[in-house]
Structure 1
Amino acid sequence: MPKGDKETPFQRRKVLQTAGAIGAAGLAGCSTNTDATEEPPTESDSGGGGADETASPTEAAELTVGGDMVYASLSTPSSLNPYRVSDTTTSARINKILDYPGGASDSETFDPGWFKSWELSEGSTKVTYELHEGLEWGGDYGTMTAEDVVYTLNNVLLLQGEDDWYGHTDTDFYYIGPDSEPVEYEVTGELTFEATLPVSKANWLHEDPLLGQWWLPKEFVKPYRDAGDADGMDKDSYITDAVYGNGNLGPYEFDNWTRNSQMAFTRNDNYYRREKIGEIGDRDYTESPYWETLTYQQFDESSTALSALKTGEVDLAGIPDGKVSNFRGNQSTQLYESPFDNGVFWLNLNHRANGWDPIRESRKVRYAIGNAFDPDTIIEEAYNGLAVPLRTFHPSWGPYYPSEDKLTSLPGDIEKARSQLEAGTSDEYGYEGDQFHGPDGQLELSMVRTTGNPSIEIASNYLKQRLSELGIKSTIEAKQWSTLLQDYAMNSPDNVEGEPDWSIGSFNGGPWDQSVSNEQWDIMLGLGFSTSPYAPWSAVRSTLAEKGTFNLWGYTQDEYDIQEFIGNASTASSQEEVQSQMTEMFSFISKDMPFIFTSSGYNVTGLNNSVVGLPGEKTDDGYKATSYFQTINEAQPSKLYARKQE
């Protein structure tokens, strides 16, 4: 789901960071630490001073319940509707009042949430789920049962075509295998149910979208389902006022929301984890959460948020890469850094009908733009060296990143870009002196970027300069995250004449020529995707397949059957076979360059020194690091993350 301008490092929900916790892609705001405030930091690193030495979880810090926690945020959630989550800002807020059903604490171990147990059969075609006893809904809906879960699956999530009365964005992730067949769910007891997979899935722990899915009581949903009234359900106060969260299903209860200002939560005294899970590994839920209140304070600019961190107005804020050096050695702030970002960031290129046609039509044109945007320069100038260059849709530390000789590398050469631009366009285009002209005069491209992020502003200005050297004029529009999503990333067949051949949802309303965004654009900066490093095919499927849920760009090609290779990779019987399939797929994606791959960034978070109990040692194993941090985020806030009492 789109991740707002740097929602924190390792969010549980992953597409558009959406469809589920562990296997789906996530549309993410550019990972440059301007809003790494949605979850706790990931690794401890004093960065030259300022870190409280009591921060290691191995030391016996005296932690008691009390105090207030304030996160700085640059983005605002779209709603509090757990059925309408399409960005990580919204996901992070709802996650304060609803836990996720489960997760993975390492490559093979299930981590409990609402689910007490999760078991994959020996043939990897059946999953048995068991809910904890005594999970209580807010309002008058009683105890959560397996019937609640399966009803939402069969009556909301799994519906397609004319039967789809609601239009849930996660539906695609429950259709798997080469023939895109649905997972079948059946209630087997009051608290148990089974899933039957249409194909064997040995890695299903890392793909199962249900581990990151939320649902609501059957008794609440059914009347709206029977009436086909999606709008009525969305407007019901049970959803709009987050009454569903007033049971024991999450660490906090919703308090109040002043739009464009703040959102506040109050400690849930009945949080189920205290009794149902207690201590697990190095996490202790017996008193969690440790804050009496938790507040998201919204800021328009990262500079204002950082000033608030320095003065103690907020307790946690993401640190933009260009500002990290200002906080090293700061005596009032702890600095925590992680190189294990699972986000993949790029220049978004519009392949739809309201973009410049040669972007869609010509790989050479995309190469020309890529040569104008040199990632090594951007990493140094915009990200202060706190990122690594990428050439395909996978973090460079990930297990399936191909060797460099399998990937397409661009030299960042303007003269080469000029040649590629001429070769990739029709006779209507060409150079007149230093200017590149088309049918209507000098070519002008429209760029849009997120606001509040200094690194993105630097990158967009750099690209504007380089396009000018290429003979292309350009304009830059700066938009808030919610506006960027609504008017540029989302697209609709209502913006063109006629009915679409098909429509997947708000981020892929139809084929490239039958659905376009509200506003015209050619290049977008500040939006990327998070991926699951051990199930990367899910991200590829949702973004690059023509009918992918989050193929907002309208990308399509006839050279390579992405869907077939996704099916082969996700059902492979050995790690070697998966590696071979993913190397071939990632090599093609690098060569075709649907967008301009740039980097995978670091996560840098600043915290007030009164915050103690943070994770200690780093790990060199990227996957374990990611899993560890996801676990901590899910636990948040537990004994690993609490305020020292005055």
Structure 2
Amino acid sequence: MPSGNTDKRIDRRSWLKALGVGGAAGLAGCSGNQNQNTETSGKGGTETSEPTEESTEAGDSSGRSIGGTYREALSADAKSLNFLFHDDANTTKFVDATMDYAYEFKDIGEIVPMWVESYTEKDKKEWTFTLRDNLRWSDPYGDLTAEDWVYTAQNLYGAKAPGESKTKENWAGVVQYSDWKNLTIEKAGKRKLKVTLPGPQPAFIASTAFWGGRCLPKDLVKGYVEDKDIEGLKQDEELNSLSYTGNLGPYDYEEWQRESRFVATRADDYYLREVAGSEEIPERFAEAPYFEKYELKIIGEESTRLASLKEGDLTYFEDVPSQKVEQFQQMDHLKFRFPPNPFCSMAYYNQRSNGWEMLQRKEVRRALSTAISKKAIAENIYRGFPTVAHTFQPEWSPWYLTDKVEQFGVGDSYGSEKARKMMKEALSDTNYGYDGDKLVDGNGEQVELSFVYRAGSQNNQTVAEFFKQELAKIGIKVAPTNGGPFNTLQNKYMLTSTSDGTPSFNAGPDATSQEPWDLMYGVALNAYPINPDGSRTFWVPDGGFNFYGYEPEAPMADLYDTAQSATDEKTRKEAFAKIFAALSKEQPTNFLNFSVYKNAYDKNYMGMPAEGEFDYLESWDSTSWYLAKQ
């Protein structure tokens, strides 16, 4: 997800493509969506699509022709094209154009083989992956083989070689480290690699080591590894221009004009064309992709992005603002899809030392969450598209158990009078208290909290103003603060460090961000409904994306260990039920809502599902989508 020298990787695809700013239907880690911060489960609006031959499973390429430019507008630029050090949504999206992954998910439990042709497992602990035999790097690096993957994993990602037991240092500061540091990897043939886990992990196939995983040419990085040359890795021209990607993705890098646009051209030799028509890869991939060019425009202002959509300049627009959907649905040149969104929209409580110290108290956070109407946010600001959230899992997830989750901000669990009473009790042993209608400190000064929101969306500012209004009812002043676009927000408020440390999203319990803050909105996180193991990084004390400093009372690390290693579904479900119940009880963040993606498409953009409910994994085959009229 974001980036920087962090030891934990949070995102991968996004959102699938979304760290918040980008992409397709999300899967990954963190999102700062273009118009709010993420949305998810729930269903709003009416579908506008006519049944056509493009009902995706048409087994041939009839009706498709190659031509035109795929064009999308993003609210922020990528930080880099070097995926070793950055996995924010837009970096991920740019790299995705030129390289596939090991595999994708088509549905929960159903993978689509990409670089990896097949896999086997033994006792849920030993996993053997076989690579396709037609994968090639750009010259002079030759075929992509198991040697490349093993070398990359052992020497950059932190994986162990057979016989090694000591955890390796993340010497280069790569974002893949947390996925790999506990794994042992070895060659099992030219195209086979075996991964051994510390213990059984039934859902390992849905972990982010391989799902969203990639490697690099051994000969490209070997010199930097041997010299421990971090700056060399960061500055290498090939790594930063994607000139090594060979036939491994649908497009080839053409140019990147910073803060303006990223352009890639249709690859002459895309490996999936050779296997189109096989059992796993449909015939429609025989000429994929069907665009000559792929362009991502960087347009910071939401109104300007929407103007481009209105004028017909864009092929696709992810997540039209809720208040604009009805207007844009009336436009003849557009059609909409509303897949569920697995990202949770939250208001973060800063529990580090540069936030209001009382936010470290669970009872204070519970009182604050009681004061905020989630229903008003969902219905009045986001026009009824979201469903309210009470923990870090959407209700449509198989891991959500309603009877275990405590509710805040709805029904009897919402109200200023109740919240004020809870706050008074939570602060009874401190020098904070009420002086009339105001909550004051020991000097009689009214408590004032900063509320930082991500720029680029009017809705984010509206939510901040709503918090100001609601918390005023319990005597707290709120100062809404524009935190800038995502990259600025990340650098100033999310990345933490000690006086002598390298910034990361969690540089330890004593680390703080560059700027102080109390509440934050505009960055959504993936709940990983396919495999919630991935959410560990958000909710354990040393979690790589625990930038808000949450110290759980519940034994979160032990519960995640139990869930991850459980070989029976009942034990796994019980462990996750305890995790999500604890999160709802402790309120490390105010879980506000899950929404749906409100995605707009050029009406001539064909190939996606034409009818019915759309799964959030619907874009797995998007390289076979095309323009019917050019």
TM-score, structure 1 normalization: 0.87
Q: Specify the SS of the correspondent of 1:365.
A: helix
Is 2:604 the partner of 1:610?
yes
Within-5 A mapping of 1:364-379: 364-379=363-378
User: Quick one: structure 1 residues 12 and 379, their matched pair in 2 at CA, closer, same or farther if it must change by over 3 Å?
Assistant: closer
Distance in 2 of aligned mates of 1:227 and 1:270: 34
Aligned residues between the structures: 604
Q: Specify the SS of the correspondent of 2:124.
A: coil
Render the CA deviation track for 1:488-525: whole Å, top value 9, x for unaligned: 1111113xxxx67xx8x7111111xx211111111110
Distance in 1 of aligned mates of 2:28 and 2:334: 33
Distance in 2 of aligned mates of 1:48 and 1:116: 36
Within-5 A mapping of 1:26-65: 26-30=29-33, 32=35, 47=46, 53=52, 55-57=54-56, 62-65=63-66
* Number of the residue aligned with 2:193: 193
- Of the structure 1 ranges 462-471 and 88-97, higher mean CA displacement relative to structure 2 is found in 462-471
User: Quick one: structure 1 residues 165 and 487, their matched pair in 2 at CA, closer, same or farther if it must change by over 3 Å?
Assistant: same
Render the CA deviation track for 1:123-154: whole Å, top value 9, x for unaligned: 11111111111312124212111111011111
Structure 1 residue 329: Cα displacement? 3.0
Distance in 2 of aligned mates of 1:515 and 1:35: 27
Contact 1:104 1:205 in 2 (8 A): no
Contact 1:342 1:533 in 2 (8 A): yes
Distance in 2 of aligned mates of 1:331 and 1:8: 35
Structure 1 residue 46: Cα displacement? 9.7
* Number of the residue aligned with 2:177: 171
Instruction: Structure 2 unaligned segments of length 5 or more: list them.
Output: 4-10, 160-165
Render the CA deviation track for 1:334-355: whole Å, top value 9, x for unaligned: 11112x2111221111111111
Structure 1 residue 85: Cα displacement? 2.6
Distance in 2 of aligned mates of 1:643 and 1:25: 27
Instruction: Structure 1 unaligned segments of length 5 or more: list them.
Output: 176-181
User: Quick one: structure 1 residues 50 and 308, their matched pair in 2 at CA, closer, same or farther if it must change by over 3 Å?
Assistant: farther
Distance in 1 of aligned mates of 2:456 and 2:87: 21
Is 2:584 the partner of 1:590?
yes
Structure 1 residue 553: Cα displacement? 1.0
User: Quick one: structure 1 residues 406 and 613, their matched pair in 2 at CA, closer, same or farther if it must change by over 3 Å?
Assistant: closer
User: Quick one: structure 1 residues 385 and 173, their matched pair in 2 at CA, closer, same or farther if it must change by over 3 Å?
Assistant: same
* Number of the residue aligned with 2:627: 643
* Number of the residue aligned with 1:179: none
Specify which of 613, 616, 623 is matched with residue 626 of structure 1.
616
Contact 1:448 1:477 in 2 (8 A): yes
Distance in 1 of aligned mates of 2:293 and 2:14: 23
Specify which of 542, 545, 556 is matched with residue 550 of structure 1.
545
User: Quick one: structure 1 residues 602 and 461, their matched pair in 2 at CA, closer, same or farther if it must change by over 3 Å?
Assistant: same
* Number of the residue aligned with 2:497: 492
- Of the structure 1 ranges 437-446 and 541-550, higher mean CA displacement relative to structure 2 is found in 437-446
Is 2:529 the partner of 1:533?
yes
Structure 1 residue 221: Cα displacement? 1.0
* Number of the residue aligned with 1:470: 474
Specify which of 575, 593, 596 is matched with residue 599 of structure 1.
593
Q: Specify the SS of the correspondent of 1:110.
A: strand
Specify which of 419, 431, 434 is matched with residue 431 of structure 1.
434
Task: Give the CA RMSD over aligned residues.
Answer: 2.9
Contact 2:34 2:75 in 1 (8 A): no
Report the AA paired with residue 271 of structure 1: Y
* Number of the residue aligned with 1:560: 554
Is 2:238 the partner of 1:238?
yes
Report the AA paired with residue 637 of structure 1: T
Contact 1:97 1:251 in 2 (8 A): yes
Is 2:129 the partner of 1:145?
no
Is 2:388 the partner of 1:389?
yes
* Number of the residue aligned with 1:178: none
Contact 1:49 1:330 in 2 (8 A): no
Distance in 2 of aligned mates of 1:462 and 1:34: 16
* Number of the residue aligned with 1:507: 505
User: Quick one: structure 1 residues 50 and 391, their matched pair in 2 at CA, closer, same or farther if it must change by over 3 Å?
Assistant: closer
Distance in 2 of aligned mates of 1:58 and 1:399: 26
- Of the structure 1 ranges 213-222 and 433-442, higher mean CA displacement relative to structure 2 is found in 433-442
Distance in 1 of aligned mates of 2:44 and 2:436: 53
* Number of the residue aligned with 2:358: 358
* Number of the residue aligned with 1:78: 79
Contact 1:449 1:526 in 2 (8 A): yes
Structure 1 residue 171: Cα displacement? 1.7
Is 2:324 the partner of 1:323?
yes
TM-score, structure 2 normalization: 0.89
* Number of the residue aligned with 2:515: 519
Contact 1:612 1:642 in 2 (8 A): yes
- Of the structure 1 ranges 304-313 and 60-69, higher mean CA displacement relative to structure 2 is found in 60-69
Distance in 1 of aligned mates of 2:74 and 2:276: 30
User: Quick one: structure 1 residues 482 and 255, their matched pair in 2 at CA, closer, same or farther if it must change by over 3 Å?
Assistant: same
Render the CA deviation track for 1:29-51: whole Å, top value 9, x for unaligned: 14857899xxxx99999946575
Sequence identity, in percent?
26
Report the AA paired with residue 372 of structure 1: A
Contact 1:50 1:331 in 2 (8 A): no
Is 2:109 the partner of 1:108?
yes
Report the AA paired with residue 250 of structure 2: P
- Of the structure 1 ranges 206-215 and 288-297, higher mean CA displacement relative to structure 2 is found in 206-215
Distance in 2 of aligned mates of 1:112 and 1:534: 17
Render the CA deviation track for 1:557-607: whole Å, top value 9, x for unaligned: 3x3211111111122232222222211221111101111111111101111
Distance in 2 of aligned mates of 1:15 and 1:290: 26
Distance in 2 of aligned mates of 1:208 and 1:299: 30
Structure 1 residue 8: Cα displacement? 12
User: Quick one: structure 1 residues 129 and 14, their matched pair in 2 at CA, closer, same or farther if it must change by over 3 Å?
Assistant: farther
Structure 1 residue 252: Cα displacement? 0.6
